[in-house]
């Protein structure tokens, strides 16, 4: 919260003197630098403070790396299928989606320095930040609060998806939002599944970085304007999608078999608290959605400066998530105290 507030104040004070054009090198570097202190705080403050355990941690090995790559291919196929289905349903009603990254795809914004900075930002910095937050920090915390692995993956995927709302609303339109949010949720499920089966955030960062990187490569190809490189990329991407389709068949068969195993990790649910926890999560997420839509639309209406409204939104969102985290932790502490008192009375 402090970092967000400082960044807003610095931006407001320096804005009259420094013109930050969207897509400029300065703009992209600033976006990168904002994330780095947050990554360090999560690693060296939040994880130690909350004593987030990481039971079942698996060290780096080739087998898990190959599995991660194949699951990433599967996630990309899911995203494309989701895009096609929802686009077919929505475009006739709401109109065509607006590309939220238009300012990165045109004019002087496409140059070697910007492309390199953008690759580092999208394929390295942002995946590390989002995976540390939504997987490494959030999933173990929710498990300690009594949620099963399945519910923690669903919860982290929802938070991951709705965390992208301001970007899609402020830089796109409603069609963009309704198309991209399910894509982010589905890929979040893949990332969560990778994490709970390895307990090593490196693998989910790797999957996230590959997916984001494949979205940035076309920018470099536009700049290079080389037909041979375009053909090579199309062949590689086609191979990735083919692997994803094969994985879809394998996962479909595996899913049918997994129901026979009561102790499977992903489907193991603690029945005593599941329904109440799901109901609480639904209420929280409904509130988050309403908050995000209201604030994003309001900021877009009243503040013309995109960078400023994104900063203000993130500050407000940070406050809301901090309150929710405090509420969850306080409730857990109260439950433990109540259990202790009950045991004392019984004795």
Q: Which sequence spans correspond to the domains of the chain? A: 2-283
For residue 232, the model assigns a pLDDT of: 92
Task: Using CB atoms within 10 Å of the CB of residue 278, give its burial: 0 to 12 exposed, 13 to 18 middle, 19+ buried.
Answer: middle
Is 268 a residue whose pLDDT tops 50? no
Q: What are phi and psi of 228, to 5 degrees?
A: -65, -45
- SS3 per residue for 79-138: HHHHHHHHHHHHHHHHCCCCCCCHHHCCHHHCCHHHHHHHHHHHHHHHHHHHHHHHHHHH
pLDDT digits (tens, 9 = 90+) for 288-316: 667 766 777 777 778 777 667 777 777 77
pLDDT for residue 123: 92
User: What are the phi and psi torsion angles at 225 (to 5°)?
Assistant: 50, 50
Residue 144: name the closest of 54, 19, 230, 48 by CA.
54
Give yes or no for residue 90 having a pLDDT over 90.
no
Q: Cβ(149)–Cβ(266) under 8 Å?
A: yes
pLDDT of residue 170: 66
Tally the C-alpha atoms within 13 A of residue 282's C-alpha that lie toward its C-beta: 6
- Alpha-carbon distance of 41 to 192, in angstroms, equals 22
Contact 266, 153 (CB under 8 A): yes
Name the pLDDT band for 248 (thresholds 50, 70, 90).
Answer: confident
Under 8 Å between Cβ of 65 and 166 = no
* Per-residue pLDDT at 52 exceeds 70: yes
pLDDT score recorded for residue 278: 59
What pLDDT score was predicted for residue 104?
Answer: 61
Residue keyed to tokens 């590309």: 99
Confidence of residue 17 (pLDDT cuts 50, 70, 90): low
Q: Determine what percent of the chain is predicted with pLDDT higher than 70.
A: 71
Q: What is the mean pLDDT of the chain?
A: 77
């Amino acid at each position: 919260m402090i970092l967000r507030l400082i960044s807003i104040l610095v931006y407001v004070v320096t804005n009259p003197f420094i013109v930050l054009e969207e897509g400029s090198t300065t703009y992209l570097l600033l976006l990168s630098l904002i994330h780095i202190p947050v990554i360090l705080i999560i690693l060296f403050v939040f994880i130690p403070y909350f004593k987030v355990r990481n039971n079942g941690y698996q060290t780096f090995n080739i087998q898990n790396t190959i599995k991660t790559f194949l699951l990433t291919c599967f996630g990309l196929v899911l995203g494309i299928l989701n895009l096609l289905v929802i686009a077919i349903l929505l475009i006739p009603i709401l109109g065509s989606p607006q590309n939220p990254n238009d300012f990165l795809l045109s004019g002087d914004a496409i140059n070697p320095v910007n492309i390199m900075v953008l690759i580092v930002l999208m394929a390295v910095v942002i995946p590390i930040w989002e995976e540390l937050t939504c997987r490494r920090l959030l999933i173990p915390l929710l498990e300690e609060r009594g949620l099963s692995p399945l519910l923690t993956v669903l919860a982290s995927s929802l938070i991951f998806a709705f965390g992208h709302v301001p970007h899609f609303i402020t830089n796109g339109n409603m069609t963009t939002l309704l198309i991209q949010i399910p894509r982010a949720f589905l890929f979040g499920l893949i990332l969560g599944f990778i994490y709970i089966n390895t307990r090593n955030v490196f693998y989910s960062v790797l999957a996230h970085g590959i997916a984001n990187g494949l979205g940035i490569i076309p920018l470099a190809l536009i700049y290079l304007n080389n037909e041979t490189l375009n053909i090579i990329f199309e062949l590689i991407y086609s191979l990735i999608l083919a692997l994803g389709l094969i994985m879809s068949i394998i996962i479909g068969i595996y899913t049918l078999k997994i129901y026979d195993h009561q102790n499977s990790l992903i489907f193991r649910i603690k029945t005593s608290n599941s329904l109440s926890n799901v109901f609480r999560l639904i209420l929280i997420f409904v509130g988050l959605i309403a908050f995000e839509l209201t604030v994003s639309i309001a900021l877009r209406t009243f503040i013309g400066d995109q960078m400023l409204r994104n900063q203000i939104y993130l500050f407000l969102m940070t406050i809301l998530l901090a309150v929710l985290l405090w509420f969850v932790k306080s409730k857990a502490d109260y439950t433990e105290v109540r259990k202790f008192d009950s045991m004392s009375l019984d004795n």
